[in-house]
Amino acid sequence: MKLNHVANRLDSRHFEIVVEMLKVKLGFIQLRRTERSIWLRQPGTNVDLQFSRSDTVHRDADKRRSQVSFLNETPQAALQDLADWALAHGLEAAVGSYSDKEFFLDAPDAFVDFVIEAMTPDLADYGVAE
């Protein structure tokens, strides 16, 4: 088997604004769309994101342990830029940290079971041949 995509849930009320944020701010393109889900890819990558609409009112209390993760030289600033965009578009969002090299963005009304993480590239230097 070969990894194809990872799926997470977005609150139906905020689905379109999160999709728009990923397209506008991070350059994601739409691959496929159904009534309930969308598949997105960031150019230059080969693992896709699927987001499904969810009407779940309960948010996973431990969702910070499930991330859609990105690499960035300035991860806190990159996530703050996303948070500012979300806030300007009516979506509550805040940046927190796991360490001085790992940060997360939560949009609690929209992200059901995950947060967006950004970390410095050295943390992903696993020394594994492709």
Residue 3 has pLDDT above 90, yes or no: no
Sheet strands side by side (includes 5-11): 5-11, 48-54, 37-41, 29-33
pTM of the model: 0.91
pLDDT at 87: 98
Read off the tokens for 102.
Answer: 């790992």
Q: What is the pLDDT of residues 13-71, one digit of tens each?
A: 999 999 999 999 999 999 999 999 999 999 999 889 999 999 987 787 888 889 999 99
- Given this structure, which CATH class describes domain 5-124? alpha beta
| Domain range summary for the chain, segments of one domain joined by + | 5-124
